[in-house]
Amino acid sequence: MSESYYELTVEPSSHRELFADFLADTLPVGFEETETGFIVRSEEDLETIRWGIEQFAEALQKALGEPVDVDMRLGKKRTQDWVQAYQQSVTPVDVPPFYVHPTWEAPNPGRINIAIDPALAFGTGHHPTTASCLQAVGRVVEAGDKVLDVGCGSGILAIAAAKLGADTDACDTDPVSVGNTLENCDLNGVRLGHVWEGSAAGASRRYDVVIANIVADVLVFIASDLKKVLKPGGRLILSGILDKYEAKILDAYADMAVADRILQNEWVTLIVTDKG
């Protein structure tokens, strides 16, 4: 590991979700999302990345016909300082009945513990979509249920279902996520039934509960696949939905009834089931 690294702080004045998409598509490394923007860290100089973000902001401003400013600060820091600060910033998350903690923090004896160390794959329990999905899993998953986690990321939701006694499968189109899920299963002493690289269309059986914490547009696109792998009377947990896009999801799943709705900040998680 290098003794130093470059850190680029990116704080757009508006349209943070578009900047997040740009960074996700452009960066060869992961990035951290903060309350005001993003932090990119790399052992390589990030000057080219800063220039690319400036060009993106200018193009966005022309396309939208409105001011789009972005404040950026680039500096060089000691690696050990970042590692220590990062570990201190990653705190446990208490989402009854679950307690999600990094391995350097002690488990909670009064909860179902899930150990997740931050990695490239999404899902440490801190984001509202993951936290509300954990709430939904705690509400609907029962021992013996067959469960599928679609877009499993870190595997946190699949692990939660398995720890409740469910027979759980998981899939993700990102091979990094699949590997991270398997590693976290080993870390938590959990064994999943089948984990594959791909989508719900690759499932070979039907499920009592299907979890999909992705984004609204993808949930619309894969709606028929999710419904096909769900048993009659089963429940879909749909998350990653900004409240302004909720109507789009309700249209795509209009043949199903909303059994529960969890709102956290501007993020919505829906539990839907057959109408009847």
Sequence-distant (≥ 6) Cβ neighbours of residue 76 within 8 angstroms: 4, 5, 6, 7
Angle at 155 between CA 80 and CA 151, to 5 degrees: 115
Could you report the per-residue pLDDT of 98-157, keeping only the tens digit for each? 999 988 889 999 999 999 876 544 555 567 888 999 999 999 999 999 999 999 988 999
Cα–Cα distance measured from residue 15 to residue 17, given in angstroms and rounded to the nearest whole number: 5
Residues of the chain where predicted confidence (pLDDT) is lower than 50 = 120-121
Domain over 4-87 is classified CATH 3.30.70: yes
Cα–Cα distance measured from residue 167 to residue 258, given in angstroms and rounded to the nearest whole number: 24
pLDDT recorded at residue 120: 44
pLDDT recorded at residue 121: 42
pLDDT recorded at residue 273: 96
> What's the whole-model pTM score?
0.72
pLDDT recorded at residue 84: 64
Cα–Cα distance measured from residue 157 to residue 230, given in angstroms and rounded to the nearest whole number: 17
Return the CATH architecture of domain 92-274: 3-Layer(aba) Sandwich (3.40)
Residue 90, SS3 per DSSP: coil
Cβ atoms of 26 and 57 within 8 Å: the answer is: no
Query: Domain map of the chain by residue range?
Result: 4-87, 92-274
Could you report the per-residue pLDDT of 255-265, keeping only the tens digit for each? 999 999 999 88
First to last CA, the chain: 58
